[in-house]
């Protein structure tokens, strides 16, 4: 497994969410993202810190009118599903699923244009800095990705390279000892077996629903809940 690590730094006023962390240095967030092809993406954000800052960040991450994906000045169209998994003073956990993404200049979507088998995207936000770690099978086209990311950044954003090399730290440990409902596990197992998480995708929700003899909406819901449980476990053990 290889990793590509870099930072995107935000000037004050260039992004509402990053302004929360700029104005509250004690606050931080960790996020895990996974894009599935060029049109679907799920994202889980854990935010901790002063209560007011966490509330401001949570409000933005659950606001469908806020552009939380694009790093350019271009907006995107998408269908968005949001679920608040945890919300208490000084701490929140938000799950977002995006479908039918169009013209989206997000890091995962751009990455999938160049890297096959890009598995996970880990993001840490603190102050005006967003640190990205991309876990991938190979880095043959990272140079092209590097150039594209720098060229797509909107006003007030700057790109800072860290390193490319063998991955460090734990990878995909979220699959160990996590409790998932049996019906969710069954759908997740079938989706993985049929290639739903491969790039390019080898099956669709409609095909899975037919094979499982379940409504498409039920299959989609169970997958989202299973994914959220897995990522929650990962962030709990790696925050």
Per-residue pLDDT of the chain (239 residues; tens, 9 = 90+): 788 999 999 999 999 999 999 999 999 999 998 877 667 888 999 999 999 999 999 999 999 999 999 999 888 888 899 999 888 889 999 999 998 887 789 998 888 888 876 568 899 999 999 999 998 877 788 999 999 999 999 999 999 999 998 877 654 333 343 456 777 878 888 888 888 887 678 889 999 999 998 899 999 988 888 887 777 766 666 55
- Please tell me whether residues 155 and 203 are part of one structural domain: no
**Residue 234 within a domain:** no
Cis peptide before 53 (omega within 30 of 0): no
**Residue 132 within a domain:** yes
- Whole-model pTM: value is 0.72
**Residue 238 within a domain:** no
- Which residue reads 């799920």 in tokens? 42
Asked whether 132 and 121 are in contact (CB, 8 A), the reply is yes
- Please tell me whether residues 30 and 87 are part of one structural domain: yes
Domain count, the chain: 2
**Residue 182 within a domain:** yes
Geometric angle at alpha carbon 229, from 224 and 232, rounded to 5°:
120
In sequence order, the β-bridge partners of residue 86 are 93
- Please tell me whether residues 137 and 182 are part of one structural domain: no
Measured in residues, the chain has a length of 239
**Residue 237 within a domain:** no
**pLDDT, position 11:** 97
- Please tell me whether residues 120 and 19 are part of one structural domain: yes
- Please tell me whether residues 121 and 17 are part of one structural domain: yes
Domain C-terminal end among 122, 151, 167: 167
Sort 15 into a burial class: Cβ within 10 Å, 0-12 / 13-18 / 19+: buried
**Residue 233 within a domain:** no
- Please tell me whether residues 10 and 54 are part of one structural domain: yes
- Please tell me whether residues 29 and 111 are part of one structural domain: yes
**Residue 236 within a domain:** no
- Please tell me whether residues 181 and 143 are part of one structural domain: no
**pLDDT, position 176:** 40
Asked whether 36 and 208 are in contact (CB, 8 A), the reply is no
- Please tell me whether residues 116 and 63 are part of one structural domain: yes
- Rounded CA separation 206/208 (Å): 5
- Please tell me whether residues 80 and 116 are part of one structural domain: yes
Helices 51-61 and 16-23 pack at an angle, to 10 degrees, of: 170
- Please tell me whether residues 102 and 139 are part of one structural domain: yes
Domain C-terminal end among 124, 152, 167: 167
Q: What is the pLDDT of residues 123-140, one digit of tens each?
A: 999 999 999 999 887 778
Q: Which two tokens stand for residue 86?
A: 């945890």
Asked whether 121 and 6 are in contact (CB, 8 A), the reply is no
Geometric angle at alpha carbon 164, from 169 and 16, rounded to 5°:
80
**pLDDT, position 175:** 37
Range of the domain at 204: 173-228
- Please tell me whether residues 84 and 123 are part of one structural domain: yes
Domain C-terminal end among 167, 201, 219: 167
- Give one DSSP letter per residue of 19-87, joined into a string: HHHHH-TT-EEEEEEEEETTTEEEEEEEEESSHHHHHHHHHHHT-TTS--S-SSS---EEEEEEEEEEE
**Residue 200 within a domain:** yes
């Amino acid at each position: 497994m290889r990793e590509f690590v870099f930072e995107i730094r935000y000037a004050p006023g260039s992004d509402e969410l990053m302004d929360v962390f700029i104005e509250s240095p004690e606050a931080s967030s960790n996020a895990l993202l996974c894009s599935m092809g060029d049109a679907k993406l799920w994202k889980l954000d854990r935010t901790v810190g002063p209560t007011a800052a966490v509330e401001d960040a949570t409000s933005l991450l659950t606001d469908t009118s806020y552009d939380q994906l694009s790093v350019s000045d271009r907006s995107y169209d998408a269908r968005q599903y949001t679920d608040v998994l945890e919300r208490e003073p000084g701490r929140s956990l938000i799950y977002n699923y995006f479908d039918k993404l169009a013209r989206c200049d997000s890091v995962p979507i751009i990455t999938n244009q160049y890297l096959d088998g890009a598995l996970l995207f880990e993001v840490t936000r603190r102050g005006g800095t967003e640190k990205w770690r991309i876990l991938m099978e190979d880095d043959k086209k990272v140079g092209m990705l590097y150039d594209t990311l720098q060229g797509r950044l909107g006003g007030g954003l700057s790109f800072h390279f860290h390193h490319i090399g063998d991955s460090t730290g734990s990878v995909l440990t979220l699959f160990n000892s996590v409790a998932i409902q049996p019906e969710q596990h069954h759908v997740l197992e079938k989706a993985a077996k049929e290639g739903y998480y491969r790039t390019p995708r080898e099956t669709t929700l409609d095909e899975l629903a037919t094979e499982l003899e379940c409504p498409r909406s039920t299959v989609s819901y169970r997958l989202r809940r299973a994914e959220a449980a897995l990522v929650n476990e990962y962030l709990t053990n790696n925050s």
